[in-house]
Structure formats: C-alpha cells, structure tokens
Amino acid sequence: MTRPPNSAEGPRVRFWGVRGSTPTPVPANMRFGGNTACVEVDTGGPDLIVFDAGTGLRLLGDRLLAESEGRGYRPVHILLSHLHWDHIQGFPFFRPVYTEGYPITVSGSSSATRLLKPAFEGQLSDPYFPVLFRDLPARVELRDLPEHPFDLPCGRLSTAGLHHPQGATAFRLDCGAKSVVYACDHEHGNGSADAALVELARNADLLISDAQYTPQEYEYLYRGWGHSTWVEVAKLAQRANVKQLVMTHHDPWHDDAALDEIESLAQRQFAGTRLAREGMEILL
Ligand SMILES: [Zn+2]
Ligand SMILES: [Zn+2]
C-alpha cells in the first residue's frame, strides 16, 4: 500500500515484524507472526521511517522496490534501537541495499563497548555473510544518533536510553500533531530509565513497547534478561497518558493462544491495548 506524498492524513504505522529474540516460523505462531522487530512509519513525507531492521524488513524491501518502478527511490531512514540480532538481521536481505544508488540511512547509538559503524558493518563481513558491507551498491549511510532531539524531513525525533543489556534506545517521532513512540527492548524496574521512558511517551498518540513476558515468567525465569512484562507496560502507558498502546517483541515461546490470552488480560488493565500482529496497520 502506498500513500501520496504530503498526505493530509496522520502517520500510518505498519508492523512487519513483531517477534522478539528469534524468528518463529511455525504454524502455531502464524496469526501473530514470526518475523523479528520491524515497524514502518509512513508520514506521507519524502522519507520513510523504519524502526528496527529485524527479519520483517525483508518484505518491506520488496514493496519499496515495487513502488519505486517508474517513480524513483524513496529514501529510507532506519532507526536501530540496538544491535542485537533480532533488530538487525533483516538488513542483509533488504533488497534495496543491492540496488545501485538507493538512499538508505541507518541511525543508532554506539553501545558502551562498540561503536555503531564497525558493529553494524560486522554482520556483512567474512565469515558471517558472503557480501561485504563496503560492496553494497546502495547509498548506505551510518549515523550515530545525537542525544538531543533533531529534525528529520518527516518530523522531529527524540530519544531516551532504555534499560537493556548493552543498552537500547527508545524513539519518539512527532509529526504535525501526531506522535508515535517505539520502545524496544526495555526491562522495567530501573527508576531513571522508567522515568525517562514515561517522559518520552507523555501524551503520545501511540506507544509501541516491548512486553515480552508474563509476570510469572519474569518472576521465576527472566528477571535481568532485559524485557518487560505486559503488566508493567500497561502501568507505564497509564503513567504516560498515551492514547493507544501496542505490545510487541512477543516471546518466541508464546504461541497464538498464549498471546490471545495476554491481550485480553492487558485490555482489562489498559483499555484498547492491542498485541502487534504482522501486517497490522494503524492510521494515527
Ligand atoms: Zn530484541
Ligand atoms: Zn535486545
């Protein structure tokens, strides 16, 4: 689906990958989807914004190339929350990178130990992948994100640091009167990181958040693994007074039935909560 440039509508958000940690292409997961983190935000402006480059990015690439025929390439701005595999593995299979001159910007934060550029380029290197980053025919630019808000052609971008092993960054895109916040991956319970995320998400039209675990799983198995529970995310959405909440980064061991149950429980705590499904679109 494509939109005319400078559309009067608000941003359109589409989920291309909703799974956390690893792809899960099994029948029991297909209703929600098995591709890892990737969310497109089309503001109708010149650039397309993409949060994370998990395996869902592959199919977005096919659509972009189909749309570009006879119309030229639409610049893509990929914003990486962090460099864990489930957030970058779609990039080597994103066909625009093999298209001469296709303009692609990848922005992210360097971790405490690794700079963005060598770390990101490393996935396209010997012996991990047969094509080297430097040989990609697209015009790929890697950019370190500044800590202060800055303007993209399609809106103003603000960030906040998240509580996650090796770090992660949350994004808020303000486009006209509409705002969308993307927060993957984050473990609740760190006072300053929780407060920064609440502030970032304050009064947002849409909060998309990691809510990988149930409270029981978190308590007995996954404390310290870097992800939130749906209960804590619903509380955070209430504190931040967001209008809509979409939970994503589904656990690989949560099949469709388990996610249905989480969704109905979450809706009792924060009205209108939805669990992300591959292909789901929200018009803000
Ligand atoms: Zn992740
Ligand atoms: Zn992670």
User: Is 113's pLDDT higher than 80?
Assistant: no
- Give the model's confidence band at 1: pLDDT under 50 very low, under 70 low, under 90 confident, else very high: very low
The CA 52 to ligand 1 mean position distance, Å, reads 10
The CA 82 to ligand 2 mean position distance, Å, reads 7
For residue 187, the ligand closest to its alpha carbon is 2
Tell me the pLDDT of the chain averaged across its residues.
94
pLDDT at 133: 97
Q: Which residues surround ligand 1, an ion (CB under 5 A)?
A: 20, 86, 185
The CA 166 to ligand 2 mean position distance, Å, reads 8
The residue-averaged pLDDT of 91-114 equals 92
User: Is 111's pLDDT higher than 90?
Assistant: no
**What percent of the chain is modeled with pLDDT above 70?**
97
The CA 10 to ligand 2 mean position distance, Å, reads 30
* HEC profile of the chain: CCCCCCCCCCCEEEEEECECCCCCCCHHHCCCCCCECEEEEECCCCCEEEECCCCCHHHHHHHHHHHHCCCCCCCEEEECCCCCHHHCCCHHHCHHHHCCCCEEEEEECCCCCCCHHHHHHHHHCCCCCCCCHHHCCCEEEEEECCCCCEEECCEEEEEEEECCCCCEEEEEEEECCEEEEEECCCCCCCHHHHHHHHHHHCCCCEEEEECCECHHHHHHHHCCCCCCEHHHHHHHHHHHCCCEEEEECECCCCCHHHHHHHHHHHHHHCCCCEECCCCCEEEC
For residue 210, the ligand closest to its alpha carbon is 1
Q: Residue 1 class from Cβ within 10 Å (0-12 exposed, 13-18 middle, 19+ buried)? A: exposed
User: Is 246's pLDDT higher than 60?
Assistant: yes
At a CB cut-off of 8 Å and minimum separation 6, what does 112 contact? 166, 167
Residue 247: closest CA among 207, 216, 220, 284: 207
Tokens 């958040």: give the residue. 209
The CA 191 to ligand 2 mean position distance, Å, reads 19
Which tens digit of pLDDT belongs to each residue from 141-183?
A: 999 998 889 888 889 999 999 999 999 999 999 999 999 999 9
User: Is 56's pLDDT higher than 60?
Assistant: yes
Residue 56: closest CA among 234, 184, 178, 146: 184
The CA 225 to ligand 2 mean position distance, Å, reads 9
The CA 46 to ligand 1 mean position distance, Å, reads 29
User: Is 24's pLDDT higher than 80?
Assistant: yes
pLDDT at 5: 46
- Give the model's confidence band at 8: pLDDT under 50 very low, under 70 low, under 90 confident, else very high: low
For residue 52, the ligand closest to its alpha carbon is 1
User: Is 124's pLDDT higher than 80?
Assistant: yes
CB burial of 76-99 (b: ≥16 within 10 Å; e: otherwise) equals bbbbbbbbbebbbbbbbbbbbbbb
pLDDT at 3: 54
The CA 151 to ligand 2 mean position distance, Å, reads 26
User: Is 2's pLDDT higher than 70?
Assistant: no
Other CB atoms within 10 A of residue 281 CB: 11
User: Is 9's pLDDT higher than 80?
Assistant: no
Q: Is the peptide bond before 149 cis (omega within 30 degrees of 0)?
A: no
